[in-house]
Amino acid sequence: MTFISIEFLLFLAILVAIYYVVPHRFRWVLLLAASYLFYATLSIQFIPLLLVSTAFTFVTGLLIERQDEKRQKKRLMMIGVSTLVLFLGWFKYFNFVNDSLRTMAISMGWNYDIPYRDVVLPLAISFYTFQAISYLVDLYRGKLKAERHYGYFSIYFAFFPQLVAGPIERAKKLLPQFKAEQRFDYEHVSYGMKRIAWGFFKKTLIADRLAPMVASVFSQPDPTGSEIVLGTMLFSLQLYADFSACSDIAIGTARLFGIKLTENFRQPHFAVSIADFWNRWHISLSMWLRDYIFIPLCKGKKKRHQIYVAIIITFLVSGIWHGAAWSFVLWGLIHGLYRVFGDATKHQREQMASFVRLDRTPELHKWLKIAVTFQLVCFSRVFFVSDSVAQAFHHARLYVTPSSWAPVDMLQALELFSLLDLLVFLFFFTTVQVFQYIERTKGSAWDWLSERSAFTNVAIQLFVIVSVLVFGVSSEGFIYGGF
C-alpha cells in the first residue's frame, strides 16, 4: 500500500472518519495501529527492528534525563546515538564498507576473506534513525523533557504519513501535537485533501511521466552527450517532482488529523546559489545536518578554513546518508566544494557583477544566478543517478563537453519523447510553473486559492483530479523511499 494507490486513499478515508469519532484518549492507539499496519503492508519483516529501535530510544531517553551529572548524560547519549548508528550501519553500509575494504586489500595484494552478505535495507530506517538521534541529542542539550508515554513516543517514531520519506521531524514539535485534542476542522481537512491531490498531480503527471525517458538514457550502454545533458536535467525535474509530491502527500495526510508537518521544499530550482538551494531542498534534512553535524563540528572554531572543513564533512554525511556507494559520497563532496567555493569567492563575484554592470539589472542578474545554480545542481546529479563511479565520471565528462550542448543534437535528444508524451508533459509542467509563480508573487498559493470563489476552487480541484485520472501514470513508489 503506497501513497499512490486506491488502497491508501480508502485506508485514509476510513481512518479519518474513525479518528474524529473516537474519544481523544484513544486516538493514540488508533494512530499507532494505523502506522504499524501501513508499515506492515510495505515491509512487515522489519517491524521487529522498528519496535526494538523505538524501545531502545525510549529507555535511553529516560536514562539520560535521570542523570544528574552532564558527563553521565553525555556518555549515555553517545552510547544511544552510537547504537542507533550501528543499526543503520549494519543494514545500510556493511556491504559498502566490506566491498571497499576488499577492493583496497586486493589492490595491495592482501588476503581478505570476509564474504558478501545478503543484507536487505529496512524501509525508512534512515529517516526514523535520524529522528531518534535528534531526540536523544535534544534531551542531552536540555531542549525537551523525556517522553514518558510509550504510546505517544511510538507514534513519533512511526507516524505513517512521514515514516517512509520524511519530513524528518523533531520530537519537540510533533509530540505536543499528538497529545493535543484535535477537533474536526473543515479548513484542515480541505487543505489536506488539496495538498494530497497536488502531490498526486506532481507524481503521476510530472515525475512518473519523466521516469521512462530518464531510465532510457542512463540504461543505454553508450548514450550521446546531448542525451546525457537532457536526461540529467529531466532527472532533476523528476527527482524534485517525485520527492516534493511525497512530501505534499505526507503533509496533506497529517493535516487531515490536525497535525502540521515541516515544509520540505520551497521551489529549490529557483535558488540563486548553492547555499540558497540547500535552504529550499529537503529542508528537514538540511536543518538536521546543520543542527547535529555542522554546528557541533564548528563549536569553538573561528578560522575560516576550519569552518570549510566542517562544511565538507557535513556534505559528505549527506552524501553517504543518501546511498551506500562512492558515487553518493562524491555527490556530497561536490556540493561541499560548491558551498566552500561560493563562500570563498562571494566578494570577487560581486565585484565581477559590478564590473560588467549586472548589478544595474537585478532581475537579469537574479535569473542568471538561478540558471547557473540549476546547472551546478544538475551536474552533481550525474553522480546521483549513475550506477558506478566510472559511469558517473564518463557521464560528467559528456555533460561538460561543449558539443553535447549543440542545439541540433539537443533537439534530436528530444526524440526520447513521443510527440504526444512531449505535449502532455509540457502542458502539465507549465501548470506546475503557474502554481509556483503564484507562490513566488502571492506568498502562499494555498492562501491565494482559499480566497478565490467556491466555483474557482471546485473547478481547479476537478481539473487536478480529472488530469490525474485521465493522464496520470504511476511507478512502483517514490525515489526517496529507497533511502
**Residues annotated as part of the active site:** 322
Torsion angle (degrees, nearest 10) of CA 250, 251, 253, 256: 170
Residue 290 is given by DSSP the state: I
- Contacts of 42 by beta carbon, 8 Å cutoff, 6+ apart: 1, 2, 123, 164
Distance CA 465, CA 461 (A): 6
Give buried/exposed letters for 358-371 (b at 16+ CB in 10 A, else e). Answer: beeeeeebeeebbe
Decide: 82 and 75 in contact? Cβ < 8 Å. Answer: no
User: What is the biggest distance separating any 2 CA atoms in the chain, rounded to whole angstroms?
Assistant: 74
Of 107, 100, 163, which is closest to residue 329 (Cα–Cα)?
Answer: 100
Q: How far apart are CA 214 and CA 470, in angstroms?
A: 22
User: Position 341: which residue type?
Assistant: F
**What's the grid cell of residue 395?**
557521464
CA–CA dist 392, 325 (Å, integer): 12
Provide the sign of the torsion angle of the four alpha carbons 166, 246, 159, 52, taken in this order: negative
